């Protein structure tokens, strides 16, 4: 099984050898990048090698009304992954729960597990593993002689996979801990607030519409000189945000905050994160700066009799994001944004929170994305960028993450 914690592009993925269900459960945090209860974890495979790991909420009960739709959704995800009729792509599924073996009188969620397996078999999807991890034990649903009280958790703690991770000092946070905004010191908050006050205001933003961009060939030796200064300024702050070796000065932090709160610059930030910081400048030179100046945030937010013609931030990101695959490098940006948000005055946070929510969504951790969206809307319930990201994040999980990311 491939361990995705080795994120450098030039580093060969670490191989985790699983000999048992206990090893599979020991490897799960390393595959997902976190731990979580009341969850369904799917580990995708290609032959004997694992790919990505996805997490979905466990139903509220084994009699929940939404179980049929959940089973259909899981089947559709696995169909998209090529698991139907393909033994080499047979996934492994683990159910993690708060219910104990003692309370369940046997393996927890066994009725749901049987329904899940029958449903998938009906759709020609075979499972490589189907198991349960509870607070007081674990078991494979396929083991006819599994102890009624479950196997001891010691088997997972003593797995070579767990021991090797412990030696390497690997820590996998709980899902609830991911994306937590740290608490900045009052002095740092005051410094950033003062820098924001001292920053010259950006030109007024006027929302408009623009025609769909057409990307044309660009000569990388050409020096872009015909663009408004704010294009180059946005490229500069994007470059700083992406480079973990570049310290963010207080003035640079203020520029990033202001940039994230200005919609057309927010768009250039996202394009620079997806590609290269200079790419939006190159694109604007090919298309004209007016295509980005005052671009609409979301032309599809309201139902109209006639569809609105033109381009918007949401339409552009909806077109580009599904093809983005280099998600591992976004961990640097996620961490830097969390620190920056913590040092930003509350009233100035929504733009950064919307950007952070978009980045977490792009890496597959939708739980954190929703949390940051909720926090931004708590500050400003009508914040258009945040509402746009909220609608954007409703794209089906399986159209974006199969084979390359960890979804939560």
Q: Which two tokens stand for residue 147?
A: 């102890």
Q: What is the pLDDT of residue 46?
A: 83
- List the structure tokens of 59: 């139903």
Task: Give the pLDDT of residue 17.
Answer: 73
Handedness of CA 150, 154, 156, 160 (dihedral sign): negative
The pLDDT value given to residue 142: 94
Residue 49: phi and psi, rounded to 5, are: -100, 135
Which residues of the chain fall short of a pLDDT of 70?
1-16, 203-225, 304-305, 395-408
Question: Is the Cβ–Cβ distance between 2 and 49 less than 8 Å?
Answer: yes
Kindly report the pTM of this predicted structure: 0.81
Q: Selecting from 3.40.140.10, 3.40.50.300, 3.40.50.1820, 3.10.450.100, what CATH number does the domain 2-177 have?
A: 3.40.140.10
pLDDT (0 to 100) of residue 407:
35
Residue reference for tokens 């009233």: 347
Distance CA 189, CA 346 (A): 10
Task: Render pLDDT for 252-302 as a digit per residue (tens, 0 to 9).
Answer: 999 999 999 999 999 999 999 999 999 999 988 888 888 888 899 999 888
* Domain segments of the chain as ranges: 2-177, 186-399
Q: Name the β-bridge partners of 132.
A: 95, 139
**Token pair listed for 196:** 């924001």
Q: Do 297 and 207 contact (CB within 8 A), yes or no?
A: yes
């Amino acid at each position: 099984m491939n361990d995705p914690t080795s994120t450098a592009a030039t580093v060969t993925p670490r191989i985790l050898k699983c000999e048992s269900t206990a090893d599979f459960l020991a490897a799960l945090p390393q595959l997902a990048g976190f731990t979580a209860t009341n969850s369904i974890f799917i580990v995708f495979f290609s032959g004997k090698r694992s790919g990505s790991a996805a997490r979905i909420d466990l139903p509220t009960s084994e009699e929940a009304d939404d179980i049929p739709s959940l089973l259909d959704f899981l089947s559709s995800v696995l169909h998209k992954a090529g698991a139907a009729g393909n033994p080499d792509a047979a996934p492994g599924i683990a159910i993690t729960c708060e219910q104990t073996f003692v309370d369940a009188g046997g393996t927890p969620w066994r009725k749901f597990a049987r329904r899940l397996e029958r449903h998938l078999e009906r759709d020609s999807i075979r499972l490589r593993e189907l198991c349960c991890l509870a607070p007081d034990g674990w078991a494979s649903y396929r083991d006819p002689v599994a102890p009624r009280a479950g196997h001891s958790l010691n088997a997972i703690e003593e797995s070579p996979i767990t021991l090797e991770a412990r030696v390497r000092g690997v820590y996998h946070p709980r899902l609830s801990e991911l994306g937590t905004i740290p608490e900045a010191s009052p002095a740092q908050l005051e410094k950033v607030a003062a820098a924001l006050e001292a920053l010259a205001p950006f030109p007024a933003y006027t929302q408009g519409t623009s025609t769909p961009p057409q990307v044309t060939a660009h000569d990388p030796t050409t020096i872009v000189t015909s663009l408004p200064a704010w294009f180059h300024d946005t490229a500069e702050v994007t470059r700083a945000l992406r480079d973990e070796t570049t310290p963010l000065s207080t003035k640079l932090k203020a520029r990033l905050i202001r940039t994230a709160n200005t919609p057309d610059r927010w768009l250039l930030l996202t394009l620079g994160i997806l590609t290269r910081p200079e790419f939006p400048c190159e694109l604007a030179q090919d298309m004209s700066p007016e295509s980005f100046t005052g671009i609409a945030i979301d032309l599809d937010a309201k139902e109209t009799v006639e569809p609105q013609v033109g381009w918007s931030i949401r339409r552009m990101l909806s077109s580009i994001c599904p093809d983005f695959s280099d998600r591992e490098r976004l961990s640097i940006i996620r961490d830097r944004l969390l620190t920056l948000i913590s040092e930003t005055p509350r009233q100035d946070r929504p733009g950064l929170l919307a950007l952070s929510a978009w980045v977490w969504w792009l890496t597959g951790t939708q739980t954190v994305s929703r949390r940051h969206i909720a926090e931004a809307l708590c500050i400003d319930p009508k914040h258009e960028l945040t509402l746009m990201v909220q609608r954007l994040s409703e794209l089906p999980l399986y159209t974006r993450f199969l084979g390359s990311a960890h979804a939560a």
